[in-house]
Amino acid sequence: MSLVKRNRLFFPNMEDFFGPDWFGGISNELNTLPAVNIKENEKNFELDLAIPGLKREDFNIELDEHVLTISMDHKTEDESVTDSYTRKEFSYSSFRRSFTLPDSIDEGKIDASYKEGILQITLPKKEEALPKPKRLISIGK
């Protein structure tokens, strides 16, 4: 089984039409969706999202009706005052990614960690979805 990216409904995001430079803005790598790697092994799926420079508290991970949604809202402000000049800069970055989980996932045991710029989400498989060991069957008389 595989994880499926959930498609947007009805209307696309305005960023799909206008890039970050459309109105003279500055391009920021956090304005785009983070890259995600999905690995499957015998016992679980692992999602790795590359999102450096943030804290665990910046992320929201929700599960609703077999849909795992990962989102982030990050706001920074910087103000400098020198002589008669004041400069204040702020930025706001956010993203939202959703994945439809297969029935083989044990939703009660999903775990997440954030270390060295990588958000890792572990999706364990249910016991009945794990591969069974080989069994020899004897032939009766």
What sign does the dihedral 76-69-32-18 (CA atoms) show? Answer: negative
pLDDT at 101: 92
Please compute the mean of the pLDDT values over residues 20-32 and round it to a whole number. Answer: 48
CATH class (in words) of the domain with range 34-126: mainly beta
Please compute the mean of the pLDDT values over residues 2-18 and round it to a whole number. Answer: 50
pLDDT at 138: 87
Say which residues have a Cβ less than 8 Å from residue 114's Cβ, sequence separation at least 6. 51, 54, 55, 56, 59, 120
pTM assigned to the model: 0.64
* Span 104-141, pLDDT tens digits: 999 999 999 999 999 999 999 998 877 788 888 889 88
* Span 40-84, pLDDT tens digits: 998 999 999 999 888 899 899 999 999 999 999 877 777 777 777
pLDDT at 31: 52
Task: Enumerate the domain spans of the chain.
Answer: 34-126
